[in-house]
Amino acid sequence: MTAAVLDAPTPDAAPARRPAWRRPAVVAAMTALLGVLVVASLVLGTRVVGLDEVLAGLRGDLAGYGEAAVSARLPRTALAILVGAALAVSGASLQAVTRNPIADPGILGITYGSALVVVLGIVVLGISSPSAYIGAAVLGAGAAAFFVYLIGSLGPGGLTPLKLALAGAATSAAFVSLTSAILLPRVDVMATFRFWQVGGVGGATWDRVLLVLPVIAAGLILALALARGMNLLALGDEVAAGLGAHVGRTRLLAFVSAVVLAGAATAVAGPIAFVGLVVPHACRLLLGPDNRWVLPASAVLGACLLLISDVLGRIVARPAEIEVGIVTAVVGAPFFIWLVRRQKVRQL
């Protein structure tokens, strides 16, 4: 069986056929797009506000409805940036260390494992503090990643990209069913967390943003520090070891960074799927396979994707809102089908 794997970069991942200016220009364009989307996130919504109201809201003036709307949208925008960057970098890290083009925190069951453990913590242990939610979510993400890896390793041939994806899909379905089974009889908990189950950033506050910021920042820094090691892993474990890479340590730390990022994002925004799948592939198409560029670009483009999904969710169903998790699923599901067909995974 020929497994579908990511393109392997050279040890230095030198862009042989790419102009030297292309990568910085692409990242600069992504950053400019992020700036535009931040403004759009502050301006657009159930109520459209003007530039003067945006400036007044940024100064803390809450005299009018427009200024109050801007003040409420500021933490929502910041949380969307953090969650989008975390999920995208988590997906890029998972794809790099598993050499699986369809690895994603949602597809591999990591986000839904986080959600299940958070719900269990609420129902069984009575946790209520945001920091306890983050701890439970990271613990659930780690347990889910280990469980999926274990299941995918069973049987002849050991772990393959196909078996890992199938194990993750089956585990995700089981976790979603268990979460629903726990919540449905408990109306009080269900009323509080039914929107969190879908995934969204509508309930953002500065307290939540500041609480999750250091956790996501630590995960992003760890992932970026491992970028060159991830490049070497793409060459195969034996070659990477021969080139001086600490294969086991790099793979373990990359998994830790992916789990922390996915768990923290799930704790504050609920399970949001497909961001970690779509964004890294888009970055590789634009920048090549070098993770030293793909990882930071994924952080920026992931923030862009979640911001534009949040803005679309606000304006397409006015005066109601569509949660961002639904919008990303609408975008990501067709991409997932296209990717599987493009990789020619005939075993499906």
In tens, the pLDDT along 302-346 reads 999 999 988 888 888 777 777 888 888 887 777 767 766 665 443
In which band, very low, low, confident or very high, does the pLDDT at 106 lie, cut at 50, 70 and 90?
A: confident
Q: How far apart are CA 68 and CA 70, in angstroms?
A: 5
Report the Cα–Cα distance between both ends of the chain, in Å, rounded.
12
- Determine phi and psi for 66, rounding to 5 degrees: -65, -45
Per-domain boundaries in the chain: 77-343
Answer whether 296's CB lies under 8 Å from 27's CB: yes
What's the predicted TM-score (pTM) here? 0.85
Q: Classify domain 77-343 at the CATH superfamily level.
A: ABC transporter involved in vitamin B12 uptake, BtuC (1.10.3470.10)
CA distance 260 to 268: 13
Report which of 108, 173, 101 is spatially closest to residue 143, judged by C-alpha positions.
108
Structure tokens at 284: 């590789």
* Average pLDDT of the chain, as a whole number: 80
Q: Tens digits of per-residue pLDDT, 34-82? A: 999 998 888 887 777 767 777 766 766 666 666 666 777 888 899 999 9
Apex CA 190: angle with CA 309 and CA 87, to 5°? 35
Q: What is the pLDDT of residues 204-263, one digit of tens each?
A: 788 889 989 999 999 999 999 999 888 888 777 677 777 777 777 888 899 899 999 998
In the chain, the amino acid numbered 328 is: T
What phi, psi does 243 have (nearest 5°)?
Answer: -90, 5
Q: How many CB atoms lie within 10 A of CB 50?
A: 11
93-102, 115-124, 181-190, 311-320: which has the minimum mean pLDDT?
Answer: 181-190
Where helices occur in 288-323 by DSSP H, the ranges are 291-315
Neighbours of 345 (CB within 10 A): 18
